[in-house]
Amino acid sequence: MSTKASTNAAARLPVIFDTDPGVDDAMALLFAHRHPAVRLVGITTVFGNADVAVTTRNTLFLAERFGIDAPVARGAALPLVRPPRGAAVEVHGHDGLGNLPEPVTACRQPDARAAHHFIIDTLRARPGEVTLVALGPLTNLALALAEEPAVARLARQVIVMGGAFGTNGHGGNASPVAEANVLSDPHAADAVFTAPWPVTIVGLDVTHEVLMDDAAFARLRDEGGAEGAFLWDCSRHYVRFYGRAAGVRGCFVHDASAVACLLEPALFGQRAGAVRVVCDGIAMGQTIQAEEGKRYSHAEPWADLPSQRVCTSVRAADVLALFVRTVCGGAGGR
Ligand code: BDR
Ligand code: CA
């Protein structure tokens, strides 16, 4: 490697990518891998779109397919408290990757450590440097915090795809008020949002504004190499689901929007304030922010908690352009 190339590699932002692939997780993984500002230092898996054996196998498969050599550590199989919700077959297919025509297999083995131990070790080794990008239920991050609370002071920042704050008419996708990742482990999400690390939450308030149509997927297929063509294949089932469920032509870009927020936060309008998660009852999984600077007569559940950032608006066309350009290897891509 030339001196220039190795310097650039050193300057890239180290990221642990926590994921439950998942079609949109696959899109986000290729996006992060192909962007020159990111260095994936590890991938951790979690139950969510499928059980953790499947999401781990899918992650190893994707890492091989995309040429990613970062270690993959298997994570939590179950939520902290609530019973599991089960696989999202209707959304992500029986294999979790949109019912691919080929069998999903992997030769690589996962790291020997559990995901939360991998997170603790990596943050300790590089204090203040590593960003966590979390795209599934937040169980691994909550387990890391429970075992070693100091990790909250060691992470550079945490970017989460999850939650729904009801702005711009955007409610939940798993219940009228709850987003799927948060509903899958609300206790974990509450622990992560209330810990003293800087969290940016990219929820349905913005991801339901970012609609990717087949013309954009066709660009990936035609200009994004074999990996772009793979995203076309694995998105067909997902796009059909959104047509049925939401009446849209295309799919919402959930997980890749969180990667976009890491890369270009200025594309997102953000609101500051402490965030809590409802952990039981019919509103389980609802995310609620007490806006900074507002006075409430009943503020006790949010009192003295760290102020986190919630995305409330997005320049959707620019997010889509960044994603497509990066995957297709143009400006902003490798
Ligand atoms: C989130 O839930 C999962 O189905 C997606 O992968 C995404 O992370 C959207 O609510
Ligand atoms: Ca996901």
Closest-CA residue, ligand 1 atom 4, reads 49
> pLDDT tens digits, residue range 196-206?
999 999 999 99
Average pLDDT over residues 136-141: 98
Q: Which atom from ligand 1 is nearest to the alpha carbon of 252?
A: 9
Q: Which of 33, 208, 254, 298 is catalytic?
A: 254
Handedness of CA 174, 178, 182, 187 (dihedral sign): negative
> pLDDT tens digits, residue range 307-333?
999 999 999 999 999 999 999 996 444
Ion ligand 2 contact residues with beta carbon within 5 A: 20, 22, 25, 135-136, 255
Average pLDDT over residues 2-23: 78
What number of CA atoms fall less than 13 Å from residue 261's CA on the CB side? Answer: 34
Residue 330: the pLDDT is 60
**CB neighbour class for 308 (10 Å; exposed up to 12, middle 13-18, buried from 19):** buried
Cβ < 6 Å from ligand 1: which residues? 22, 24-25, 49, 88, 91, 135-136, 161, 173, 179-181, 254-255
Domain spans, the chain: 12-329
CA 321 – CA 154 distance, rounded (Å): 33
Identify which of 255, 259, 261 to mutate to test ligand 1's pocket (most ligand atoms within 8 A of the CB). Answer: 255
Q: Which of 6-15, 83-92, 193-202, 323-332 has the highest mean pLDDT?
A: 193-202
Centre of ligand 2 to C-alpha 157, Å, is 19
Identify which of 17, 19, 20 to mutate to test ligand 1's pocket (most ligand atoms within 8 A of the CB). Answer: 20
- Beta-carbon neighbour count of residue 328 at 10 Å? 18
- Beta-carbon neighbour count of residue 295 at 10 Å? 7
CA 160 – CA 183 distance, rounded (Å): 14
Q: Is 254 one of the catalytic residues? A: yes
Residue 9 — pLDDT band, cuts 50, 70, 90? low
Residue 279 has pLDDT above 60, yes or no: yes
Centre of ligand 1 to C-alpha 148, Å, is 27
Identify which of 17, 62, 89, 181 to mutate to test ligand 1's pocket (most ligand atoms within 8 A of the CB). Answer: 181
- Over pLDDT 70: what percentage of the chain? 96
Pick left, alpha or beta for residue 241 (phi over 0 → left; psi -120 to 50 → alpha; otherwise beta): alpha
Residue 58 has pLDDT above 80, yes or no: yes
Residue 2: the pLDDT is 42
Which ligand has the nearest atom to the CA of 173?
1
Which ligand has the nearest atom to the CA of 89?
1
- Over pLDDT 90: what percentage of the chain? 94
Q: What is the CATH number of domain 12-329?
A: 3.90.245.10
> pLDDT tens digits, residue range 162-215?
999 999 899 999 999 999 999 999 999 999 999 999 999 999 999 999 999 999
> pLDDT tens digits, residue range 226-254?
999 999 999 999 999 999 999 999 999 99
Centre of ligand 1 to C-alpha 294, Å, is 31
Which ligand has the nearest atom to the CA of 91?
1
Residue 11 — pLDDT band, cuts 50, 70, 90? confident
Closest-CA residue, ligand 1 atom 10, reads 180
Which ligand has the nearest atom to the CA of 257?
1
Q: Which atom from ligand 1 is nearest to the alpha carbon of 173?
A: 10
Helix axes 225-246, 23-34, angle to 10 degrees: 140
The side-by-side arrangement of strands in the sheet containing 38-45 is 72-73, 38-45, 13-19, 131-134, 157-161, 199-202, 308-314, 268-277, 287-291
Residue 4: the pLDDT is 43
DSSP state letters, 52-85: HHHHHHHHHHHHHHHT--S-EE---SS-SSSPP-
Residue 301 has pLDDT above 70, yes or no: yes
Cα 301 from chain centre: 26
Centre of ligand 1 to C-alpha 184, Å, is 10
CA 35 – CA 322 distance, rounded (Å): 10
Q: Which atom from ligand 1 is nearest to the alpha carbon of 91?
A: 4
